[in-house]
Copies of this chain bind each other. A is one copy, B any other.
Amino acid sequence: MPDSDSPDEETGFFFHHVAIIGIGLIGSSVALALRVNGFEGPISIADRNGEALREATELGLGTSYHTSAAKAVSGADMVFLCVPVGAMGATARAIAPALSKTAIVTDTGSVKGSVARAVSAAIPDKSRFVPGHPIAGSEQSGPRAGWATLFRHRWCILTPTEHTDPAATDVVAAMWRAMGANVEIMDIEHHDLVLSITSHLPHLIAYNIVRTAYDMETVTEQDVIKFSAGGFRDFTRIAASDPTMWRDVFLNNKTAVIETLGRFMEDLAMLQRAIRWGDGEQLFDTFQRTRNIRLSIIEAGQETAAPDFGRPRFDPRNPGRDVDQDQPHDTPHEAHHDHPVDVPDDDYDEEAF
């Protein structure tokens, strides 16, 4: 465990000077979360994008701002790499000569295998590199997209390499907990497989369906936009995520994504066949089964039970008013969500009525 004499024992931040390389949604949220949770030391920020750096400065996210990552890490004892996965290696090589001997390096990339290899190979002391991945975010990008509570009640997965010093892992774990996250230690390969199904594949198919819709000659863009409330709009949110970040994820988690995608396509082909041959029983069984997993996700606190994604049912002509008050139910709408799978079976037959 971290040195209990540390002056930062109370906060959980066992370091004194942070460098954040890459000030997008995640980097800026780290900066905000550190401050809100009591870290008082310097925060040096670097980004090669001048506009992002200007925004970070305006928002006051750090104490110094650099276009050079090497300058930002100088003197820092906690270094966050928050650049796209494909830029991790180059960034690690750039900071290597300027890293202080005591610095712990961690990252927030969505793929861990390729990042662990690239960063470990680049920095002078691979025992002080702790690969990490907070499972949190939104479809927005850039420093203005960050928020201080992004990581609260979310999971942060740490995947120490064979070289990582367990004490360094402890410091990084304590830091994430101090920012409100739950920490899970995981094998690198398992991380990349789990995330391929819980995150990478959902993004790929969301991007893909939006493109398929775009390309339909007989369905206009206006049709798609106007009638998107039927399910499509939920995919467009995910498909609005940062293209650079996601290109890199797929290029760097190729094996796991292709394996998971292969299974998805086989399963989809089976549903296609069931539709073609009118096999209602197989469709019903599949659709019934998938309901339960959502209940588990809600119970695990990773989602709210509010219907329709908790999307506010606001009246744009009267934005201050909660339209739910129109609802003449005795029991408030939210009262039944304890049992979202507990719905009457609408089975019917020709003799229905």
Instruction: Determine whether A170 belongs to the interface, using a CB cutoff of 8 Å to chain B.
Output: no
CA gap between A214 and B197 in the complex, in Å: 10
Residues of B within 8 A of A202 (CB): 209, 230-232, 234-235
A326 and B290 contacting across the interface, CB-CB below 8 Å: no
User: Chain copies in the assembly?
Assistant: 2
A234 and B238 contacting across the interface, CB-CB below 8 Å: yes
Which one of A7-15, A99-107, A161-169, A219-227 is at the interface?
A: A219-227
A242 and B343 contacting across the interface, CB-CB below 8 Å: yes
Residues of B within 8 A of A38 (CB): none
A291 and B240 contacting across the interface, CB-CB below 8 Å: yes
A24 and B346 contacting across the interface, CB-CB below 8 Å: yes
CB closest residue in chain B, given A239: B290
B205 and A209 contacting across the interface, CB-CB below 8 Å: yes
A234 and B231 contacting across the interface, CB-CB below 8 Å: no
From B198, B203, B245, B263, contact of A227 by CB (8 A) = B198
Q: How close is A19's CB to chain B, nearest CB, in angstroms?
A: 12
B135 and A214 contacting across the interface, CB-CB below 8 Å: no
Instruction: Determine whether A304 belongs to the interface, using a CB cutoff of 8 Å to chain B.
Output: yes
B286 and A207 contacting across the interface, CB-CB below 8 Å: yes
CA gap between A201 and B224 in the complex, in Å: 13
> Which residues between 121 and 160 of chain A lie within 8 Å of chain B, taking CB atoms?
135-142, 144-145, 147-149, 152-155, 157
CB closest residue in chain B, given A350: B90
B199 and A284 contacting across the interface, CB-CB below 8 Å: no
A152 and B290 contacting across the interface, CB-CB below 8 Å: no
Residues of B within 8 A of A225 (CB): 293, 296-297, 300, 302
Instruction: Determine whether A307 belongs to the interface, using a CB cutoff of 8 Å to chain B.
Output: yes
Instruction: Determine whether A64 belongs to the interface, using a CB cutoff of 8 Å to chain B.
Output: no
Instruction: Determine whether A119 belongs to the interface, using a CB cutoff of 8 Å to chain B.
Output: no
Q: How close is A117's CB to chain B, nearest CB, in angstroms?
A: 16
CA gap between A251 and B243 in the complex, in Å: 36
15 A/B residue pairs, CB under 8 Å, sorted by A: A49-B344, A136-B229, A139-B340, A153-B315, A190-B218, A194-B227, A198-B227, A199-B227, A201-B212, A202-B232, A225-B296, A242-B346, A244-B346, A254-B276, A258-B276
Beyond the given A198-B230, A202-B230, please list 19 additional residue pairs across the A-B interface where CB-CB is below 8 A: A91-B353, A94-B352, A145-B336, A149-B324, A198-B232, A203-B231, A210-B293, A211-B290, A214-B289, A225-B297, A234-B309, A240-B295, A244-B347, A247-B284, A248-B280, A254-B275, A258-B275, A265-B269, A306-B312
